[in-house]
């Protein structure tokens, strides 16, 4: 408003167009995650319109901690990682979903990138690079980074698919292109080598069972060569040696994981062909 020649003139400035941000529901499935859940929730509380935690009857402080962040907590029996995430997604009030694991955390750059994507969505689903912490060290090689993960998506465009080892998000339209967000998703994976060994045993078992169910087997050559290739590929070609001591540990563990997986595949496939269903039996499995 300006006074000129005794008259008041009202100057209207053109308004900048402010895009409305789509509502965002953050969904997390949990079981006994008291060591991780607060860190995860603290990283999303400023960008989430709602937080939904689907918990499988935790016996620690996971639920109480989630409620401190005003999360809506739903107790639901575990039905597999993929189906559990689909159930959690279905409880959301908004179509845009940020699906996280409790041991993950958003960096400030990633938070800003998510907000920008929701203001002017160019895609129906987005991936983000994941940076993993192993025994207190961030691993940037070994094939562990950027480890792109699908975490932000419009739930009307696809759903989680169940697998024995790793679930994955699949778009309804196979031609759907995924956007890539800036900033890292921090992943606090293993606090000790012992944890890694235990998970390697679990995943090798699941992977072997899945392979045999598909009719696969493993030759002696595969058992000998594949583990060595895993180590060479990850330690040399993917520069695992630049991650120092833990880079060596990770690559050796990868070699070991390949060895026991293919060994189990060979054992279980021979048992299946001989009519035995006892995975602990080693008769006729050589």
Integer-rounded Cα radius of gyration of the chain: 24
Q: Which of 188, 216, 246 is the last residue of a domain?
A: 188
Residues 93 and 53 in one domain: yes
Based on the domain organization, do 138 and 248 belong to the same domain?
no
CATH number of the domain at 43, please: 3.90.550.10
Residue 5 has a pLDDT of: 54
Q: Is 69 exposed, middle or buried (0-12, 13-18, 19+ CB in 10 A)?
A: middle
Say whether both 182 and 233 belong to one domain: no
Q: Which residue has the higher pLDDT, 280 or 239?
A: 239
Are 166 and 256 found together in one domain? no
Read off the pLDDT band of 286 (50, 70, 90): low
pTM of the model: 0.87
Enclosing domain of residue 63: 24-188
Cβ neighbours, 10 Å, residue 1 = 6
Q: Are residues 33 and 166 in the same domain?
A: yes
Taking the C-alpha atoms of residue 71 and residue 94, their distance in angstroms, rounded to an integer, is 15
> Averaged over 44-68, what is the pLDDT?
98
Total structural domains in the chain?
2
Report the percentage of the chain scoring pLDDT > 70. 90
Residues 165 and 60 occupy one common structural domain: yes
Domain boundary among 142, 170, 188: 188
Say yes or no: 199 and 99 in one domain: no
Alpha carbon distance 286, 284 (integer Å) = 6
Residue 3, pLDDT above cutoff 70: no
Identify whether 230 is part of a domain. Answer: yes
Question: Of 188, 205, 226, which one is at a domain's C-terminal end?
Answer: 188
- Kindly compute the dihedral angle of the four CA atoms of residues 202, 203, 208, 210, in this order, to the nearest 10 degrees: 110
Do 175 and 40 lie in a common domain?
yes
Computed over every residue of the chain, the mean pLDDT equals 91
Residues 160 and 248 in one domain: no
Position 166 scores a pLDDT of 85
pLDDT higher than threshold 80 for residue 282: no
Q: Is 280 a domain residue?
A: no
Residue 1 included in any domain: no
Q: Which pLDDT tens digit goes with each residue over 154-213?
A: 999 999 998 877 899 999 999 999 999 999 999 999 999 999 999 999 999 999 999 999
Has residue 61 been placed in a domain? yes
The residues, any chain, with a CB within 8 Å of residue 83's CB and separated by 6 or more, are: 160, 162
The pLDDT tens digits for 225-235 are 999 999 999 99
Per-residue model confidence as pLDDT tens digits over 71-129: 999 999 999 999 999 999 999 999 999 999 999 999 999 999 999 999 999 999 999 99
Whole-number percent of the chain with pLDDT over 90: 85
* pLDDT-based confidence at residue 11 (cuts at 50, 70, 90): very low
DSSP code per residue over 155-204: GGGEEEE--SS--EEEESSTTPPPEE-SS-EEEEEESSHHHHHHHHHHHH
Structural domain includes residue 35: yes
Query: Does 267 have pLDDT greater than 60?
Result: yes
Return the SS3 of 29. Answer: strand
Give domain status of residue 2, yes or no: no
pLDDT at 10 over 90: no
180 & 208 share domain: no
- For residue 19, what pLDDT is reported? 55
Same domain, 141 and 156: yes
What confidence score (pLDDT) does residue 165 get? 79
Residues 99 and 153 in one domain: yes
């Amino acid at each position: 408003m300006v006074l000129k020649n005794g008259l008041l003139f009202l100057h209207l400035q053109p308004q900048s167009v402010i895009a409305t941000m789509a509502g965002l529901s953050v969904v997390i499935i949990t079981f006994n995650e008291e060591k991780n859940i607060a860190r995860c929730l603290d990283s999303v509380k400023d960008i989430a319109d709602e937080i939904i935690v689907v918990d499988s009857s935790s016996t620690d402080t996971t639920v109480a901690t989630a409620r401190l962040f005003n999360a809506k907590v739903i107790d639901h029996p575990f039905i597999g990682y993929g189906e559990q995430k689909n159930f959690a997604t279905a409880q959301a009030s908004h179509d845009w979903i940020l699906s996280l694991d409790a041991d993950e955390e958003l960096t400030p750059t990633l938070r800003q990138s998510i907000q920008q994507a929701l203001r002017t969505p160019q895609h129906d689903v987005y991936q983000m690079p994941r940076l993993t912490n192993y025994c207190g060290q961030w691993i940037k090689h070994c094939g562990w980074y950027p480890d792109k993960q699908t975490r932000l998506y419009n739930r009307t465009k696809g759903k989680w698919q169940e697998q024995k080892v790793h679930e994955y998000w699949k778009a309804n339209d196979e031609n759907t292109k995924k956007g890539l967000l800036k900033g890292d998703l921090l992943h606090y994976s293993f606090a000790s080598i012992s944890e890694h060994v235990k998970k390697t045993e679990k995943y090798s078992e699941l992977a072997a069972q899945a392979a045999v169910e598909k009719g696969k087997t493993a030759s002696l050559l595969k058992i000998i060569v594949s583990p060595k290739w895993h180590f060479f590929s990850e330690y040399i070609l993917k520069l695992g040696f630049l991650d120092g001591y833990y880079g060596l540990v990770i690559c050796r563990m990868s070699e070991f994981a390949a060895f026991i997986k293919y060994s189990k595949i060979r054992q279980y496939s021979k048992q299946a062909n001989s009519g035995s269903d006892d995975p602990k039996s080693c008769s006729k499995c050589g």
